[in-house]
Amino acid sequence: MPDDATPDPYTDPLAFGQRMQILRTRRGLSRPVVAGLLGMSPSWVKQVETGQIGMPKLPVILRIAELLRVRDLSDLTGDQSAPVELFVGPGHSRLPAVRNAVNALTLNADQEAPSTEHLAARLTKAWAARHQAANHREVLGELLPGLIRDAQLAVRQSDSASARRAAQAALSEVYSLAQFFIAYQPDPALLWRVAERGMVAAQESEDPHAIGVAAWLAAQAHRDTGPDHFDAADSMALEALAYMERFLPEADERVHAIAGALQFEAAYTAARRGESGTAWGWWDKAQATARHLSATYYHPVTSFSQAIMGAHAVTVAVELRAGGESVRQAVAADATAIPSRPRLARHRIEEARAYHLDGQAETALATLEKAHKAAPETIKYNGYARRIVLEETESKFPARRQRAAALAGQLGLLAA
């Protein structure tokens, strides 16, 4: 390794402070920025990193892990004896079958491809099942191998340019569905492979809706990779919006909805940066787009709708770490208007983050219990929910510790 190379935080032995400094540097965050987001002083951060202060208590460690987007707590603490994955959920039992379907060549000329109309009908049912099922990953994991195979066959067996574009649009949508299954599971390479294939298929389709959906998912993938990829997330969302602009005057609600979803992605990324004015400015644009949709419209992929804007406001406030504003938005949002079980669970998690940020830990746990009731597989794979639960298992209040431990058991966070 060159003398000026950044050390590897996963090489033992390294102290907690050294690991924190290396991971902070890799994220491109300064000590003052980290200190501000943690509610500490820059000198405290320096003292921890230089070993003048020992490893903090678990609640602080978990806040640092969230800030640095550490996926496994042992990567930060150095304790490999009991790894705890924070932002990556457990591997689903159907993940290998989905992976195999993605990786297959599908060259079997003896099997006839279904029509794009047939694929579209299956996709409609698949999206409906995803929104209605509490165990939505199980449902998707069962459907995806066949959908991936048949959509690939449809592209290969297209007999005209127009048929091929239609098949590519269907294939792109199948890959979009697959990303909802693969996200936050322990195979990031597979997630990126599917995201890239979805974007290629969307571009080949020349369908503005397909391109918008693929860009929406790619923007999320970039943003969740960390601050170094925020510019890429913005570029993906803004370029897609610019491309779609000329189609909007005559577009149907699907295209308008994906445009609104992309506007919110720009708001989300700005909030992650801490840019309050920009974040709320983009939220306002998304809100204006939502108001042009019919009151009952709900986009099957992005969940964009009038009903979702309250939930989006909670997310913006939480990402800006505005505790009081986050709670005000959570109280104002109408969760009952969200028809999708996994999206409702995600909103409950964001509400829990708001309450936890505001120091209302008991309410946060109660809200996470609501998320678990709505869709257990959503909260099980959500790093923010896992972080809050783990932190509260260390609470000084016995009743709260017991409540958090019960939820940790349901999420599979406790060793058997």
Same domain, 258 and 182: no
**Paired tokens of 22:** 């290396």
> DSSP secondary-structure letter at 71?
S
**What's the CATH number where 46 sits?**
1.10.260.40
**Paired tokens of 125:** 């049912």
Same domain, 107 and 194: yes
Same domain, 239 and 180: no
Tell me the torsion sign for CA atoms 233, 239, 243, 249. Answer: positive
Domain membership flag for residue 362: no
Question: How far is CA 43 from each of CA 29, 47, 48, 55, rounded to the nearest angstrom?
Answer: 15, 6, 9, 15
Same domain, 45 and 121: no
Same domain, 192 and 105: yes
pLDDT tens digits, 274-289: 999 999 999 999 999 9
Q: Residue 84's pLDDT is what? A: 52
Q: Which of residues 206, 238, 267 is at a domain's end?
A: 206
Number of domains in the chain: 3
The residue among 334, 258, 338 whose CA lies nearest residue 296 is: 338
Burial of 276-286, coded b for 16+ CB within 10 Å and e otherwise, reads bebbbebbebb
CB 260 within 8 A of CB 305: no
Domain membership flag for residue 334: no
Q: Which residue has the tokens 């290396």?
A: 22
Domain membership flag for residue 314: no
Question: How far is CA 311 from each of CA 267, 294, 349, rounded to the nearest angstrom?
Answer: 13, 18, 10
The residue among 267, 278, 356 whose CA lies nearest residue 313 is: 267
> DSSP secondary-structure letter at 118?
H
pLDDT tens digits, 315-362: 999 999 888 999 999 999 998 899 999 999 999 999 999 999 999 999
Q: Which residues pair with 216 in a beta bridge?
A: none
Q: Residue 37's pLDDT is what? A: 75
Domain membership flag for residue 354: no
Instruction: Please give the residue range of the domain that contains residue 298.
Output: 208-306
CB 241 within 8 A of CB 233: no
Same domain, 121 and 195: yes
Domain membership flag for residue 395: no
Same domain, 219 and 167: no
Q: Residue 11's pLDDT is what? A: 43
Q: Which residues pair with 72 in a beta bridge?
A: 85
The residue among 350, 349, 342, 282 whose CA lies nearest residue 319 is: 350
Same domain, 66 and 134: no
The residue among 171, 112, 178 whose CA lies nearest residue 144 is: 178
Q: Residue 76's pLDDT is what? A: 82
Domain membership flag for residue 413: no
How large is the angle between the packed helices 398-410 and 383-392, nearest 10 degrees?
Answer: 140
Domain membership flag for residue 324: no
Q: Which of residues 306, 341, 360 is at a domain's end?
A: 306
Show Cβ contacts of residue 228 under 8 Å, excluding neighbours closer than 6 positions. 27, 28
Same domain, 58 and 150: no
Same domain, 281 and 263: yes
10-residue stretch averages of pLDDT, the chain, 416 residues long: 41 73 82 82 91 84 80 72 55 93 81 93 95 92 96 94 97 96 88 94 96 96 86 96 95 97 97 95 98 95 96 96 93 93 96 94 96 93 87 87 90 64
- In whole angstroms, give the CA distance from residue 409 to residue 325: 31
- In whole angstroms, give the CA distance from residue 150 to residue 152: 5
Same domain, 114 and 171: yes
Neighbours of 38 (CB within 10 A): 17
- In whole angstroms, give the CA distance from residue 184 to residue 88: 5
- In whole angstroms, give the CA distance from residue 330 to residue 327: 5
Q: Which of residues 290, 306, 322 is at a domain's end?
A: 306
Same domain, 198 and 216: no
Domain membership flag for residue 350: no
**DSSP secondary structure letters along 184-236:** TSS-HHHHHHHHHHHHHHHHHHT-HHHHHHHHHHHHHHHHHH-GGGHHHHHHH
